[in-house]
Structure 1
Amino acid sequence: MKITDITLDRLRLPLDPPLHAAWDPVPRRVFDATIVRVHTDDGLVGIGSGDTMDGFDAFRDLFVGQDPLAIARHVRAIETCTFHGGNYWPLEAALWDIAGQAAGLPVATLFGGTHDRVPAYASFCVPRPAPERVEVAHRVAEEGFRAAKIRIDRDRIDEGVATVAAVRDALGADFTIMVDLNQSWRMAGDTAPATDLAGTRRLVRRLAELDVFWVEEPLPYADTDGFRALRAENPGLRIAAGEMAHSVPEILDWISRDVLDVYQMDVVLSVGMSRARTLAELAMLRHRAFTPHSWTNGIGVLANLHVAAGVGGGPWFEFPYDPPDWTPARRDFPLVGGPVVGEDGAIAVPSAPGLGVELDEEAVQRWRIR
């Protein structure tokens, strides 16, 4: 089997009303999705998505004509491309999609087949006043979720803590709450400094008193000593990070130095599926958790799910969902259906061979950037 072509569909969904995500310096008025299709002479077509794939046209010839199942070779090639261009991990997802189809198995089975479903948490994105956040938390709990993640704006810390406290009071001790501070990396143009270590230490102590399960990305990635200090000072609370860490040696160093409780490398944005599997297994061998970031579209959600379920990640899986602002209708606009969470609060691995992606070709045509 040979790769005959790699095609990209660049899609753009207008967001009206715009999305006021906590990490965006300006409201997001469009949601872009790049669909990667790897075509083969056997007729199998692999699908991936997640990052923008900007600049990939210059590297297409490194893959066309090659065996799509030689994924270790392709991972190394993508890493060399990353040095000179963008992050092309959606291509690896499409290759694993082909591998699963060729084997007649879900990709999660190829990655170890540990779980066929993983408990999901509703990953909120909009900073809301406490009454509104409680209302949304009640809604997702009624839909089956047993956990949710709340964002705290670094400029509105007291309001954020009050919101966490209100959700804890309203939903009780059995509902799991995570908190994301979004301090490890920045969107383009966001030059505001992160909260200093002293302020973050005070904030994390306050969150620990509210029985928060983990605090995510509380510090810039470079402050590994700060991460370790937060862990040492708050033994009943976990510290999570790594969703956009692109350096495998850096993450290996974090694991060896025991920097984090929860490793969150996104398989289509950070280090790819194969490398994430290796790093996840190393972290879990040290009794640390792997639960990847999955804030892209439904294809990226599925790619992360297959890796997490395959290696036995958990105990939670991120499901981007914050109604009415962020819903599957927006997130998965290029898809027929898309990943869903069941009444038991878990997300099931698709049983179809490959990643289980079904594109809505009419939506692809409608939203393609001409």
Structure 2
Amino acid sequence: MKITDISVDRLRLPLDPPLHAAWDPRPREHFDATVVRVRTDEGITGIGSGDTMTGFDAVRHLFVGTDPLRIDRHVKAIETANFHGGAFWPLEAALWDVIGKATGVPVSVLFGGAADALPAYASTAELKPPAERVESALAARQAGFRAMKIRIAPDGVEEGIATVAAVRDALGPDFDIMVDLNQSWRMAGDTADAVDFATTSRTVRRLAEIGVSWVEEPLPYHDIAGFRALRARYPEVRIAAGEMQHSVPDLLRYLEQDVLDVYQMDVVLAVGMHRARTIAELARLKHRHFTPHSWTNGIGLLANLHVAAGVGGGPHFEFPYDPPGWTPQRRDFPLARPVEVRADGAVAVPQVPGLGVELDEDVIADTKIGGIP
């Protein structure tokens, strides 16, 4: 089998009303998605999505004409290209889609086949006051979720903690709550300093008293000593991070120094599917968790789901969900049908060869803003 062509389409969905994501300095008035298609001489087309793929045209020749099944070679080639400024992990997802289709199995089976479904948590985006967040949590539980992640802003810690406490009081001890402090990385142009360790430590202590399942990204990625100190001080709460950690050597250092309880590398944004699997397997051998970040679109969500289900990730799978601002329909607009959570709170792996991506070609035609050079 040979790769005959790789196309990259850029899509844009207007958001009205805008999404007020807690980590964004400005409201999001549109949502972009990049769709990668790898075509082969045997009629199989693989589909991937995730990062922007900006600059891919300069390295397309590294892949066209090669065998798509040679995934180790392709991962190494993507890493060399990424070193020079690219972010081409959506291509790897499309290649795994080809491999799954060629072998006739879901990609999760190729990654170990540990599970056919994973418990999902509603990953919220917006900052909401206590009463409003309680209402949304009750609605999420009605929709099937058994867990939710709540954002806390650095300049709104008191209201954030009050919100978490209100959700705990309203939904009881059987509803898992995670909290994201969003302090490990910044959006482009956001130059604010991270919250200092002493303040963060006090926040984590108060959240531990409420009984949260984990506290996510409480410190910048480089503060290994700080992460370890938080884990040592508050063993009753897990410390999670790594969603945008692009360095495999740094992630190996985290494992060697036992920095985190939960590793969260996004397979289409951070280190790719193949490398994420390696880190995830090592984390699980150390009795730590792998729960990947999945805030792209339905295609990226499926790629993360297949890896997580393949290796036995958990204790929950991230499912971006915060109606009305963020719904499966908005998130998965390139797909013929959005990915949904079952009544039991789990998200199922599509039991078809490949990733299980089915595009809505009419929507793609309507939202397409051109290929990416």
**TM score, norm. by length of structure 1:** 1.00
* Contact 2:183–2:218 (Cα < 8 Å) also in 1: yes
SS of residue paired to 1:369: strand
**1:69 matched to which residue of 2?**
69
* Contact 2:292–2:304 (Cα < 8 Å) also in 1: yes
Matches within 5 A, 1:1-370: 1-370=1-370
SS of residue paired to 1:292: coil
* Contact 1:50–1:269 (Cα < 8 Å) also in 2: yes
* Contact 2:292–2:318 (Cα < 8 Å) also in 1: yes
- State the alpha-carbon separation in 2 of the partners of residues 87 and 216 from structure 1: 24
* Contact 1:298–1:332 (Cα < 8 Å) also in 2: yes
SS of residue paired to 2:8: strand
- State the alpha-carbon separation in 2 of the partners of residues 26 and 334 from structure 1: 24
- State the alpha-carbon separation in 2 of the partners of residues 188 and 249 from structure 1: 24
- State the alpha-carbon separation in 2 of the partners of residues 105 and 17 from structure 1: 40
SS of residue paired to 2:344: coil
Gaps of 5+ in 2: none
Report the Cα offset of residue 50 of structure 1: 0.6
- State the alpha-carbon separation in 2 of the partners of residues 53 and 22 from structure 1: 25
SS of residue paired to 1:232: helix
SS of residue paired to 1:287: coil
* Contact 1:338–1:357 (Cα < 8 Å) also in 2: no
- State the alpha-carbon separation in 1 of the partners of residues 72 and 161 from structure 2: 45
* Contact 2:329–2:338 (Cα < 8 Å) also in 1: no
Report the Cα offset of residue 85 of structure 1: 2.1
Report the Cα offset of residue 11 of structure 1: 0.2
- State the alpha-carbon separation in 2 of the partners of residues 95 and 104 from structure 1: 14
* Contact 2:50–2:299 (Cα < 8 Å) also in 1: yes
Code of the residue aligned with 2:66 in structure 1: it is Q
Report the Cα offset of residue 17 of structure 1: 0.7
Provide Cα deviations, 1:59-101, integer angstroms capped at 9, x if missing partner: 0000000000001000000000001122100000000000000
Code of the residue aligned with 2:101 in structure 1: it is Q
SS of residue paired to 2:16: strand
**TM score, norm. by length of structure 2:** 0.99
Report the Cα offset of residue 134 of structure 1: 0.4
Q: Percent identity?
A: 71
* Contact 1:56–1:85 (Cα < 8 Å) also in 2: no
- State the alpha-carbon separation in 2 of the partners of residues 23 and 43 from structure 1: 41
- State the alpha-carbon separation in 1 of the partners of residues 310 and 192 from structure 2: 38
Code of the residue aligned with 1:203 in structure 2: it is T
Gaps of 5+ in 1: none
- State the alpha-carbon separation in 1 of the partners of residues 346 and 339 from structure 2: 11
**Cα RMSD (Å) of the superposition?**
0.5
Code of the residue aligned with 2:229 in structure 1: it is A
- State the alpha-carbon separation in 2 of the partners of residues 192 and 52 from structure 1: 25
Report the Cα offset of residue 150 of structure 1: 0.1
- State the alpha-carbon separation in 1 of the partners of residues 347 and 333 from structure 2: 19
Report the Cα offset of residue 149 of structure 1: 0.1
- State the alpha-carbon separation in 2 of the partners of residues 136 and 24 from structure 1: 21
- State the alpha-carbon separation in 1 of the partners of residues 62 and 120 from structure 2: 37
Code of the residue aligned with 1:87 in structure 2: it is A
Report the Cα offset of residue 231 of structure 1: 0.4
* Contact 1:115–1:310 (Cα < 8 Å) also in 2: yes
Provide Cα deviations, 1:237-259, integer angstroms capped at 9, x if missing partner: 00000000000000000001000
- State the alpha-carbon separation in 2 of the partners of residues 334 and 51 from structure 1: 15
SS of residue paired to 2:14: strand
